[in-house]
């Protein structure tokens, strides 16, 4: 139920078809909206597709319903299955039940994808595969490191290849954790990046959203490890029976990885050992929030006794992820930065703070029923010289900004689509001596994409195409740069 475009549905279909199951794929979206996913099933086609709507019989007559994490647990279609005595599961539940490897799991409101990718890169490089498991510390060194989950890759079709000595680095969303809760998931290492209001349209209350996230820690034992953000007053007090490892942008007591701003080094402490790492010299990732993500990933490596040379190589070689402060086009002092993965106000605030050049912010999107005032406040930061409001929440954000009584001129526009927003944004930037725009056009929506786009990737890809199209056009027609707005 719910093929989607983000990997989990595809992984479940491939896994079940390979096991000989008769699979029906049912999705409310029509075939045209799922073309990319359908193409990827050409080699493992299901028995039947039911697209553009559901049939009650599919839910009532099945042996098993595998529901997408995006489907609410109280969906009336799932209620039909329950009433008929049909078992309900999800892709991540099937994987968790069958996985034999050890798990390093990451969750949080922001930064979990980058932290997951960093942790995977660090473990792959800095924990040698050929070291035998002869001691508790070297026992954390894997034969192979896998990456999957909410980051967009299902490991379910590959689950048979994962060995007990392997490590699986999983990004887990609140939706996935909600479905995993009845299984009592126990990762050997759990990482929580931070916590802020999100997905209240699904969870209903902040308490329920927090409870879903805390599932990651609830079943850990004293032999496990929990990596938590000491700078987040909410996360810092979450209960866990596991041995704590902390990360912080300040030097704090305890074991973990801590940033010393004056010396510009990270201090890592664990098991009586201490390391110093000049991370700013090693990383290409911009912003304090990405430094925090890196500290979190490094803290997760401490149980494996990491080695400095390999860590440096892994960090220097990490380019960042698409749609996360990704520079997609540049000319002179003009930059187009795609932060489409920013789906919370907190993420947008961090993105804006990552720059000291003039910024025109493109923000807004699908309404997740969260407080949007922090997103409107992003426009009040001193180096923001314009804001284009997008999507369903655009008018609401403009109303919130009007009430803030900004004491300086700030061009802003509620836009009807992304192309017009990009064109307008370029026109608001200051000009250099030759009249060329300078500064950053920043797509950091702070909102989900579902009102205008299929997903955040489609939103980011359109922004990338628009930026490159504008640069190509102005390269051949240099006098067509739009006039600045009022």
Task: Report how far residue 120's alpha carbon sits from residue 170's, in angstroms, rounded to the nearest whole number.
Answer: 9
| 357 in the same domain as 286 | no
The beta strand positions in 252-410, using DSSP E, are 256-260, 265-270, 273-277, 326-331, 334-338, 359-363, 384-389
CATH number for the domain that contains residue 64: 3.40.50.720
Cα dist. 89→94, 222, 286, 453 in Å? 7, 29, 39, 27
Task: Report how far residue 73's alpha carbon sits from residue 70's, in angstroms, rounded to the nearest whole number.
Answer: 9
| 311 in the same domain as 186 | yes
User: Which of 282, 316, 350 is the last residue before a domain boundary?
Assistant: 316
| 204 in the same domain as 123 | yes
321 within a domain of the structure (yes/no): no
| 300 in the same domain as 354 | no
| 103 in the same domain as 79 | no
| 241 in the same domain as 358 | no
Name the domain count of the chain: 3
Cα dist. 444→136, 290, 320, 347 in Å? 43, 15, 16, 8
| 148 in the same domain as 73 | no
User: Which of 316, 339, 366 is the last residue before a domain boundary?
Assistant: 316
1 within a domain of the structure (yes/no): no
Domain of residue 16 covers 8-89
User: Which of 316, 350, 381 is the last residue before a domain boundary?
Assistant: 316
- pLDDT tens, position by position, for the chain (486 residues)? 999 877 789 999 999 999 999 999 999 999 998 988 999 999 999 999 999 999 999 999 999 999 998 898 899 999 999 999 999 999 999 999 999 999 999 999 999 999 999 999 999 987 654 433 333 444 455 579 999 999 989 999 999 999 999 999 999 999 999 999 999 999 999 999 999 999 998 999 999 999 999 999 999 999 999 999 999 999 999 999 999 999 999 999 899 999 999 999 999 999 999 999 999 999 999 999 999 999 999 999 999 888 889 999 999 999 999 999 999 999 999 999 999 999 999 999 999 999 999 999 999 999 999 999 999 999 999 999 999 999 999 999 999 999 998 889 999 999 999 999 999 999 999 999 999 999 999 999 999 998 999 889 999 999 999 999 999 998 776 554 444 443
Q: Please tell me whether residue 228 adopts helix, strand or coil conformation.
A: strand
| 308 in the same domain as 201 | yes
196 within a domain of the structure (yes/no): yes
CATH number for the domain that contains residue 238: 3.40.1190.10
Q: Among positive and negative, which fits the CA dihedral 159, 161, 165, 170?
A: negative
pTM check: above 0.85: yes
Which two structure tokens, joined as six digits, stand for 388? 């284009």
| 145 in the same domain as 79 | no
| 346 in the same domain as 306 | no
């Amino acid at each position: 139920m719910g093929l989607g475009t983000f990997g989990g549905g595809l992984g479940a279909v491939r896994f079940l078809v390979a096991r000989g199951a008769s699979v029906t794929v049912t999705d409310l979206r029509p075939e045209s909206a799922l073309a990319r996913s359908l193409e990827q099933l050409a080699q493992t086609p299901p028995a039947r597709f039911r697209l553009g709507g559901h049939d009650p019989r599919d839910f009532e007559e099945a042996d098993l319903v595998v529901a997408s994490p995006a489907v609410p647990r109280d969906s009336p279609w799932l209620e039909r299955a329950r009433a008929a005595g049909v078992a309900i599961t999800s892709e991540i539940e099937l994987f968790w039940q069958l996985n034999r490897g050890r798990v390093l799991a990451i969750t949080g409101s922001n930064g979990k994808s980058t932290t997951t990718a960093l942790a995977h890169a660090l473990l792959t490089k800095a924990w040698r595969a050929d070291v035998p498991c002869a001691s508790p510390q070297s026992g954390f060194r894997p034969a192979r490191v896998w990456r999957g989950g909410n980051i967009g890759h299902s490991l379910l079709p590959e689950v048979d290849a994962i060995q007990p000595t392997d490590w699986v680095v999983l990004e887990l969303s609140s939706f996935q954790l909600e479905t995993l809760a009845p299984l009592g998931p126990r990762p050997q290492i759990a990482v929580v990046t931070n916590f802020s209001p999100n997905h209240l349209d699904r969870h209903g209350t902040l308490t329920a959203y927090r409870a879903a996230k805390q599932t990651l820690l609830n079943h850990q034992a004293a032999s496990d490890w929990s990596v938590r953000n000491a700078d987040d007053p909410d996360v810092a007090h979450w209960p866990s029976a596991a041995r704590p490892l902390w990360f912080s942008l300040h030097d704090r007591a305890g074991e973990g990885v801590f940033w010393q701003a004056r010396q510009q080094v990270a201090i890592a402490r664990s098991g009586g050992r201490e390391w110093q790492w000049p991370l700013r010299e090693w990383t290409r990732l911009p912003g304090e929030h990405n430094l925090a993500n890196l500290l979190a990933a490094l803290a997760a490596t401490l149980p494996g006794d990491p080695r400095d040379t390999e860590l440096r190589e892994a960090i220097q070689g990490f380019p960042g992820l698409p749609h996360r402060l990704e520079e997609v086009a540049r000319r002179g002092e003009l930059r187009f930065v795609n932060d489409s993965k920013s789906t919370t106000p907190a993420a947008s605030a961090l993105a804006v703070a990552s720059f000291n050049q003039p910024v025109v912010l493109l923000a807004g999107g699908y309404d997740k029923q969260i407080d949007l005032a922090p997103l409107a406040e992003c426009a009040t930061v001193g180096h923001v010289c314009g804001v284009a409001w997008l999507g369903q929440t655009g008018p609401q954000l403009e109303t919130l900004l009007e009430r803030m009584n900004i004491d300086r001129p700030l061009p802003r526009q509620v836009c009807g689509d992304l192309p017009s927003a990009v064109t307008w944004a370029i026109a608001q930037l200051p000009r250099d001596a030759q009249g060329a725009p300078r500064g950053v056009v920043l797509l950091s929506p702070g909102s989900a994409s579902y009102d205008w786009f299929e997903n955040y990737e489609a939103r980011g890809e359109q922004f990338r195409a628009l930026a490159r199209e504008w640069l190509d056009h102005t390269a051949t027609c240099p006098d067509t740069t739009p006039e600045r707005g009022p």
